[in-house]
Amino acid sequence: MTDAVSRLVPIKDRIKSAMGDKRTIGYFDLMDAVFPRDHYPRARNYSLNGGPPGCAMALGRALRELGLSDSGMGHERIVSR
């Protein structure tokens, strides 16, 4: 798949693909799968005023709309069905 085509895949479809048939996945593993650095080089940048990376808002909204939940803190954070 070319870079231009892979960017056209909706975020919810990328989440479903990354989750596969798993019940849980690490939050940052999911973020890496949905926003790979080679396709989205600036998505993981933090804002100048602090706060989450730019892709976290879009990922959080898509997770809520898919009915998935995330829990935990830091690198122990997981996403589950």
Query: Rounded CA gap, 15 and 9, in Å?
Result: 10
pLDDT digits (tens, 9 = 90+) for 3-12: 555 568 899 9
The pLDDT of residue 3: 56
Query: Rounded CA gap, 27 and 52, in Å?
Result: 13
Share of the chain above pLDDT 70, in %: 91
Contact 69, 77 (CB under 8 A): no
pLDDT digits (tens, 9 = 90+) for 26-48: 999 999 999 998 988 888 888 77
CA distances from 47 to 17, 39, 54, 81 (A): 28, 19, 7, 29
